[in-house]
Every structure is written in structure tokens, then in C-alpha cells.
Amino acid sequence: MKEKRSIIIDTDPGIDDAVAIGIALFSEKLDVKLITTVAGNVGIDIVTNNALKLLRFFGKDVPVAKGCAAALIEPREDASQVHGASGMDGYDFDPPKTELLLKEHAVNAMYRTIMENSEKTTLVPIGPLTNIAILLKLYPEVKEKIDEIVLMGGTLNRGNKGVMSEFNIALDPEAAKIVFSSKLKIVMAGLDVGLKALILPEVSEKVKTLNKTGDMFYALFKKYRGGSFQTGLKMYDSCAIAYLLKPEMYKLTETFVGIELNGSMTRGATLVDLRNYLKEEPNATVCEDIDAEMFKSWFIESVSSCI
């Protein structure tokens, strides 16, 4: 059987993060070497404990390293109105598995894990890009051992944090600028596909009956405000995992993605330059569209592989 793909998930759990992490942990094609946390949906201590709670729930002993508590420049904000104050409202998890928490900072843990890996590693950021940016600045030699960066973030159209800016990018635009200027292979799964990767009520009801993971996801879905239970829940972060496992569900376009840093009303916007107005070399593969039916069946199949 083909070797599993080594990945590091950088995350801010976060209800949609929890779903993405669960799917990744039980995929036969992925080897989750490390989970690093970053302040985003809620504060760094809560997201770190949430990652540790999820690993106890899933029974997976993946090391966790705590990352940055704030962006490089941008003042701290959160999305507790979407995920609840706990970051994962709706389900009463057992305590965090603190023995999995490394003493190293996330950036150093990522560096060590990547350099020790005999294979290249894929980075899967599904929160703000602060840790990734610092990794690339502090240890530029690590780029040789990174296969690609497959991230949830950005948007071709309207935003969910600002008029034109998506939450993960908008929380740390400077970090995003560093990552998108890194010349590494980047895949961007933005809001556009997340808005179509909807979990409608019949899918939530189906998932609930599959296993204890589905039952937990259902409880989280009842509190998740990324969309609505009745009109469809947006599985943003799972879109990054879906690219790793079933890229054929996407319409992919190589293009230049610029990060707006100075716009008084557009800071944090991702300028996806499909018509090459900016005359820049492509720096990303953008998920322009998604086959929603293919996502739905992949999602159900993936959750059924969990415990």
C-alpha cells in the first residue's frame, strides 16, 4: 500500500477544526505527525486544551505543541460567537490529554518534526497563519523539507470577517503575506468552496447514527454558527483535508493571490487575480469551485471511518 502522507495540522479548534481533525486522524492515507495550535476562534489555552480533548476522544496519541497567542501585528479578536466560548460548545468532552502536550513551542516542534522526517511533510493550516509565518522566517531551511502548504483561508469573493476578508487571513494578514510570498507550493481552500461544502440536516441526522464521532459532531453542529443547522453548516476546515484525500472534487486554478495589508477597508483581503491584472507570477493553486455532492458523500464516508 502507498506510504501515508506526512502532515502537520496547525489549528484553532473550533468546531469545524474538530471535524477536520477527526477525519484526518482516521484517514488511511494520512500520517498526522503533529498538531500545533494557534489563537484564532478562541484563545490559545482553550484551543490547545480543545486539541488535547479531541485526541483523548479519538484515542489517538498525536503530540500537540502550543503556538502563538496573538498575531504578528493585528490586535487579537476571536470567533466565540460562532463556536461558543469553549470553542467547541455542544459536547461535554472528557478532560484534555495533557500528557500529549510537548514543552516545545509549536514553531520549534514543527521545525524538529519536519527535519526529522525522512519524507517531506505537508503543512495543513486551518487557522490564522502566525505559526507558519514564524517557522518560515526563523528556519528558512525547513522549506526544503516541506512538500506543500494546504490551507483553509482566503476568499475569491466576499468575506466572513471583513467585507472582503476571510477570518484566518484577516486575523494575521502579515503572516499570510509571508506564507503566500514563500514560493512554496500553496493550495488555498477558501470561503467559496466552504460555502458550498454544506452539511444539510439530512446529512447531520445520518452522521449522528454512524458512530460516537458522528454523535459528537452532531452535538457540536447544534451549537455551530458557521451557517445554520437547517440551511446548512459550512465545513470550512474539512475542505483542506478534502483536497488531500479527494482533490478531484475541486476546480483548481493556478493564479496569483495578493494579500492586502494597507487598505483602510480591505486589510486582510485575498486578491485572487484570475485575470492577471497585477502581472505577478502565480503563487497558489486556488480551489475555485467544488462538487458539493462529491463532498457530501466523501464527508459521510470519512466520518464513518472514525470511531
Nearest to 152 by CA among 206, 212, 194: 194
> Per rule CB under 6 A, is residue 125 in the interface with ligand RIB?
no
* CB contact at 8 A, 243 and 189: yes
Q: Which helix (H) or strand (E) segment is 279 a member of?
A: none
Question: In terms of C-beta density within 10 A (0-12 exposed, 13-18 middle, 19 or more buried), how is residue 28 classed?
Answer: exposed
Q: Which stretch binds ligand RIB (CB under 6 A): 70-78, 91-99, 161-169, 255-263?
A: 161-169
> For residues 136 and 189, which CB has a smaller minimum distance to Ca ion in the complex?
189
Choose between 4 and 196: whose C-beta lies nearer to ligand RIB. Answer: 196
State yes or no: residue 126 binds ligand RIB (CB under 6 A): yes
User: For 82, how many CA atoms within 13 A lie in the half-sphere containing its CB?
Assistant: 21
Residue 78 DSSP symbol: -
Q: Which residues bind Ca ion (CB under 5 A)?
A: 12, 14, 17, 126-127, 237
Stretch of 49-57, 60-68, 164-172, 196-204 contacting ligand RIB, by CB under 6 A = 164-172
Using CB under 6 A as the binding criterion, the count of chain residues that bind ligand RIB stands at 16
- Identity at 279, one-letter amino acid code: K
Residue 125: beta bridge partners? 10
Instruction: Kindly state the smallest distance separating residue 231's Cβ from ligand RIB, in Å.
Output: 17
* 168 touching ligand RIB, by CB under 6 A: yes
Strand partners, 253: 286
Among 48, 160, 255, 283, binds ligand RIB (CB under 6 A): 160
- Inter-residue contact 220 to 15 (CB < 8 Å): yes
The letter for the amino acid at 131 is: N
From the CB of 125, what's the least distance to Ca ion, in Å? 9
Q: Which three cell numbers stand for residue 167?
A: 477570518
Question: Binding ligand RIB by CB under 6 A: which of 16, 74, 192, 260?
Answer: 16
Exposed, middle or buried by CB within 10 Å (0-12, 13-18, 19+), for 87? Answer: buried
Is residue 10 at the binding interface for ligand RIB, with CB under 6 A as the rule?
A: no
Give me 39's grid cell.
Answer: 489563537
Q: Which stretch binds ligand RIB (CB under 6 A): 8-16, 132-140, 279-287, 294-302?
A: 8-16
Residue 167 binds ligand RIB (CB under 6 A)? yes
Q: Could you give the CA distance from residue 164 to residue 264 in angstroms, rounded to a whole number? A: 12
Measured from the CB atom, the residue of 142 and 186 that comes closer to ligand RIB is 186
* Contact call for residues 26 and 307 (beta carbons, < 8 A): yes
111 binds, among Ca ion, ligand RIB, none (CB under 5 to 8 A by kind): none
DSSP annotation string for 16-45 = HHHHHHHHHHT-TTEEEEEEEE-SSSS-HH
Which residues, 63 to 92, sit near ligand RIB by CB under 6 A? 79
Between 142 and 189, name the residue whose CB sits nearer to ligand RIB.
Answer: 189
Nearest residue relative to ligand RIB (C-beta): 167
The entry of ligand RIB, Ca ion, none near residue 285 (CB within 5 to 8 angstroms by kind) is: none
CA pair distance 98, 212, nearest whole angstrom: 22
Q: Which is nearer to Ca ion, 37 or 121 (CB)?
A: 37
- Which CB, 166 or 237, lies closer to Ca ion? 237
Return residues touching ligand RIB (CB under 6 A).
12, 14, 16-17, 40-41, 79, 126-127, 152, 160, 166-168, 236-237
